[in-house]
Amino acid sequence: MVVATLDAIGLGLVMPVLPALLRLHVAPSAVAVQIGVLIAIYAAMQLVFAPILGWLSDRFGRRPVLLASLAGACVDYLAMATVPTLWMLYVGRAVAGLTAATTAVVGSVVADISEGDQRAGRYGVMGACYGGGMIAGPAIGGVLGSVSPHLPFLMAAALSSFALIVAFFALRETRTPDAHLAIPAGTPAPGRRMPRSPGGAVLPSLLFVYFIMQFVGQAPATMWAVFTEHRFDWTPTHVGLSLTAFGAIHALAQASLAGPLSTRLGSDHAVVVGISLDAIGLLALSAAGQGWMMLPISLLLALGGVGMPALQTLLTNQVDDRHQGRLQGAMASLTSLTGIVGPLLFAALYGATAQRWDGWLWIGGAASYLVCIPALRIAFTRRPLTIGR
Provide the pLDDT for residue 181: 46
| 59-106 pLDDT tens trace | 888 888 888 888 888 888 888 788 767 888 888 778 877 776 567 777
Provide the pLDDT for residue 182: 47
For 199-388, CATH number out of 1.20.1250.20, 3.30.70.3040, 3.40.50.300, 1.20.120.530 equals 1.20.1250.20
Closest CA to 14 of 40, 46, 39: 39
Spell out the long-range contacts of 222-231 with Cβ–Cβ below 8 A and sequence spacing 24 or more: 222/342, 222/343, 222/346, 222/347, 223/346, 223/347, 223/350, 223/361, 226/350, 227/285, 227/350, 227/358, 227/361, 228/291, 228/294, 230/354, 230/358, 231/288, 231/358
Provide the pLDDT for residue 205: 92
Provide the pLDDT for residue 276: 95
Query: Taking a C-beta distance cutoff of 8 angstroms, is the pair 44, 95 a contact?
Result: no
Q: What is the 3-state secondary structure (H, E, C) of the chain?
A: CHHHHHHHHHHHHHHHHHHHHHHCCCCHHHHHHHHHHHHHHHHHHHHHHHHHHHHHHHHHCHHHHHHHHHHHHHHHHHHHHHCCCHHHHHHHHHHHHHHCCHHHHHHHHHHHHCCHHHHHHHHHHHHHHHHHHHHHHHHHHHHHHCCCCCHHHHHHHHHHHHHHHHHHHHCCCCCCHHHHHCCCCCCCCCCCCCCCCCCCCHHHHHHHHHHHHHHHHHHHHHHHHHHHHHHHCCCHHHHHHHHHHHHHHHHHHHHHHHHHHHHHHCHHHHHHHHHHHHHHHHHHHHHCCCHHHHHHHHHHHHHHCCHHHHHHHHHHCCCCHHHHHHHHHHHHHHHHHHHHHHHHHHHHHHHHHCCCCCCHHHHHHHHHHHHHHHHHHHHHHCCCCCCCC
Q: Phi and psi at residue 203, in whole multiples of 5°?
A: -65, -50
Q: Is the peptide bond before 149 cis (omega within 30 degrees of 0)?
A: no
Residue 248's Cα: distance from chain center in Å? 16
Domain pair 1-171 / 199-388, same fold: yes
Closest CA to 338 of 205, 176, 211: 211
| 181-215 pLDDT tens trace | 444 444 445 544 555 554 467 889 999 999 999 99
Q: Tens-digit pLDDT profile for the chain (389 aa)?
A: 666 676 667 666 666 677 677 778 888 767 767 776 777 787 788 778 877 877 888 788 888 888 888 888 888 888 878 876 788 888 877 887 777 656 777 777 777 777 766 666 677 677 677 667 766 777 777 778 778 888 888 888 888 888 889 888 887 887 766 554 444 444 445 544 555 554 467 889 999 999 999 999 988 887 887 888 889 998 866 877 787 788 788 878 877 887 888 888 888 899 999 999 999 999 999 999 999 999 999 999 989 988 988 898 888 888 877 777 788 788 888 888 888 888 888 888 888 888 899 999 999 999 999 999 999 998 888 654 444 34
Torsion of CA 137, 333, 117, 70, to 10 degrees: -50
Query: Taking a C-beta distance cutoff of 8 angstroms, is the pair 302, 242 a contact?
Result: no
Domains of the chain by residue range: 1-171, 199-388
Domain 1-171, what fold?
Growth Hormone; Chain: A; (1.20.1250)
Residue 357 and residue 350: Cα distance in Å, rounded? 9
Instruction: State the chain's mean pLDDT as an integer.
Output: 79
Residue 54 and residue 319: Cα distance in Å, rounded? 14
Question: Cβ neighbours of residue 249 under 8 Å, at least 6 residues apart?
Answer: 298, 299, 302
Angstrom distances, CA of residue 151 to CA of 74, 82, 360: 14, 10, 40
229 residue type, one letter: E
Model pTM score? 0.71
Provide the pLDDT for residue 389: 40
Question: Left if phi > 0, otherwise alpha if psi is -120 to 50, otherwise beta: which for 197?
Answer: beta
Residue 264 CB neighbour total at 10 angstroms: 9
